[in-house]
Each structure stands twice: as C-alpha cells, then as structure tokens.
Structure 1
C-alpha cells in the first residue's frame, strides 16, 4: 500500500514542465521533489501548494494504491 505521484508526473508532461519547474513554482527544495519521485510522503502543505498552482483537486496529482508495496 502506498501513495503514487504518477498523476503529478503526467500532469507535468501535459503542462510541458519538468521537476525543476515544479520546484520553483511551488517554492520547495530538491529534497522534497526527490521524495515524491520515490513515492514517499510529503507534507500536506506541499500538496496544497501543488493543488493551488495547478488549480486542481488532490486526486488529480496523488493516488493511493492499495495493492502496491511501500518503498
């Protein structure tokens, strides 16, 4: 079980953005972006910034996978 940020990475592709663009847009650190790249937990504050930036619901950037193993 665990969270997946695959929807976020697809959104970046659709928006023609890369991870550095996202980092700058939401004013966060490379460490936070790396944690998301490993499907690790990040704060709700960070997720809120992403949702505000894209004007989207959290379900558009994050998914909970029941059958996936926690990394």
Structure 2
C-alpha cells in the first residue's frame, strides 16, 4: 500500500498556493515536499503543521492507495 497526497495538492490549488508557498509558510524542507510528491510517508508532525496552516484534517491531505491503484478513504 502506498500514499496519495492528491488531497493536499488540490487544497493548495483551492487556496491559490504552490509547493514553495507551503514550504515557506509551514517551515518544511524541499526534501519533505519531494517525499510527498513521490507518495512516500512523512511524519505526523509535518502533517499536523500542514493541517494547522491549511485549517484541515489529515484525511483531507492523504489517502492510502491499494496495490491495485484505487484510493481508499
């Protein structure tokens, strides 16, 4: 099972933000954003900071993707 951060990318679009804005506003590294872009896990602390900044829940940011490729919520 892998992760999908499509919810995060959609929220950034809705808030007229890009990944650089996210890094600056939340204080996360480009390496962390790269991991999320690749669907790799990041710490809950990072997700908590993003949720605080974007005023959302973790489930709004990330979803598990089954081996068959369909997202699960």
Query: What TM-score does the superposition give when structure 1 sets the normalisation length?
Result: 0.89
Give ranges in structure 1 of 5+ residues lacking alignment: none
The alpha carbon displacement at 1:65 in A equals 1.5
Counterpart-to-counterpart distance in 1, 2:18 and 2:54: 14
The alpha carbon displacement at 1:42 in A equals 0.6
Runs of 4+ in 1 over 2 A off after TM superposition: none
Q: How many residue pairs align between the two structures?
A: 68
Give ranges in structure 2 of 5+ residues lacking alignment: none
Equivalence for 2:56: 56
CA RMSD of aligned residues (A): 0.9
Residue aligned with 1:24, SS: helix
Query: What TM-score does the superposition give when structure 2 sets the normalisation length?
Result: 0.87
